[in-house]
A and B are shown apart, each in its own frame.
Chain A
Amino acid sequence: MENSLNLAAVTFDGVLALVLLVLAWQLLRSPNLFKAIVLFISFGLMLSLAWVRLKAVDIALAEAAIGAGLTGALFLTALDRLQRNNQKAGDSLISQPGKVIAGISVLALTCILGWTVWTLPPFSNQMLALVSSNMPISGVENPVTAVLLNFRGYDTLLEIGVLLLAAVGVLAVTPSAVMVADSAPSPILILLLRLLLPFIILVSGYILWIGKYAPGGAFQAGAVLAAGGILLATAAVRFNLSASKALPLATGIGLLIFLLVALATMMLRGNYLQYPVAQAGTLILVIEAAATLSIAAVLVLLFVGLKSDADCPVPGEDSKNFIFEEENTIK
């Protein structure tokens, strides 16, 4: 019986690893950008399964939400914008000797990385023991959330700052991004909105709340909320980036709250971001809630900025729909 159990697990993991490799290879070598994007989305989904098999559920959540879903949506709109401007994919700009040098450097890097992983010291429980022994003072029960938001809260603060910078960058490039919805959007799409949006908000709140006890947290919840925002943006609501007041506020509020908490702890306790033990849980929840809003706002802003000056109209009978044309062979 022991052999049969291991066989199933080994085969599953083996097939998964093989699929990941094939997907990665195919997606890197495909000159058809749309095919590469679809392969990338599938790759993200399979990678999320791999994280699950490695028992890293928080990362699997983040990979599924952000890596597969949202990044795929962003790529699709970027590709669309690229094609609208009729930009060519271009031939390879690297000369032949350049390619050889690149290949050799990549090979060398792979060897170095492989050797490093191979000679890593055997699995030590030190970090695990350290985190577990400090869990009671962290205010939460999920070790990942404790590390992210309490023990290494400084890193998370900087990460949220980086997200804000990305949003500022997009705003700098497309300051007057407007995303116009249909005057008469398809009723089926409105139905989808009506059914899914409340559910998405509920799921986002649930993931945020459960981050305290089980895998979850601010980043994943923010990604789900951003998905809801993207759904709104493609279907019904007119997003005007320059005139909107709510969106910049939402974008900034995560970092703001985090900084306020940091300053407060510094003034009251003398140490930056050292939460008082009794209020640690509440503080973490407040920070995470603000961060969720912030992350969602930034991701929606990225999406709308990419889509700017382009409607998403329902095509008429005479418009050439890219997706349904048989792809041309090489001219």
Chain B
Amino acid sequence: MSLTDLFGSFLLLLAIPFFWGGSLGLLRFPDIYTRLHALTKADNLGLGLVVAGSILISKEWTVGVKLILIWLAVLTASTISCYLIANAARKRKINPWKIP
């Protein structure tokens, strides 16, 4: 494997703990706001690493542009839906979890 392939694979491997962290956060965090954090931040960062790794592994620039567009679309959708949920929760007067 060439050097770019190796580095790309390394980025892919680096993405795995982020996805695990996101899922774990979704399961273990106490209320909806914290779960939103876990879902949007960790998973999107993991996806960004996967995209970066894929760009390195596939050497064509057309695929690279598509990959970046995918990442931007997922980012946009995630952030906006996160806002919408959090806003609705706020309006519902769901209070953030406080340390007991």
Contact = CB atoms under 8 A, between A and B. Distances in A.
Interface in B68-100: 69, 73, 76-77, 80, 83-84, 87-89, 91-94
A315 B69 CA distance: 33
Interface in A310-330: 315-317, 321, 323-324
User: What size tier do the contact residues of chain B reach?
Assistant: 10 to 19
Contacts of A25: none
A186 B88 contact: no
6 contacts: A186-B87, A188-B84, A317-B93, A321-B91, A323-B88, A324-B32
Given A189-B84, A321-B88, A324-B88, 15 more contacts: A186-B87, A188-B80, A188-B87, A189-B80, A192-B77, A192-B80, A195-B76, A196-B76, A315-B91, A317-B91, A321-B91, A321-B92, A323-B88, A324-B92, A324-B94
A324 B95 CA distance: 12
Interface of A: 186, 188-189, 191-192, 195-196, 199, 315-317, 321, 323-324
Contacts of B69: 199
Q: Top 5 closest A-B pairs, CB basis?
A: A192-B80, A324-B92, A321-B92, A195-B76, A188-B83
B84 A186 contact: yes
A317 B94 CA distance: 11
B96 to A, nearest CB: 13
Nearest to B94: A324
Contacts of A195: 76
B73 A199 contact: yes
A96 B81 CA distance: 45
Nearest to B85: A323
Contacts of B83: 188
Contacts of B88: 315, 321, 323-324
A192 B92 contact: no
Nearest to A200: B73
A15 to B, nearest CB: 14
Contact of B77 (A196, A316, A323): A196
Given A196-B73, A199-B73, A316 B91 contact: yes
Nearest to B32: A324
Contacts of B92: 315, 321, 324
A167 B10 CA distance: 50
A188 B76 CA distance: 11
Contacts of B80: 188-189, 191-192
Contacts of A196: 73, 76-77
B89 A324 contact: yes
A195 B78 CA distance: 13
Contacts of A315: 88, 91-92
Interface in B35-90: 69, 73, 76-77, 80, 83-84, 87-89
Contacts of A316: 91
Nearest to A202: B69
Nearest to A324: B92
B61 to A, nearest CB: 17
A191 B79 CA distance: 11
A192 B76 contact: yes
Contacts of B94: 324
Nearest to A315: B91
A188 B69 CA distance: 20
A323 to B, nearest CB: 8
A185 B10 CA distance: 44
A204 to B, nearest CB: 13
A315 B89 CA distance: 11
Contacts of A188: 80, 83-84, 87
Nearest to B76: A195
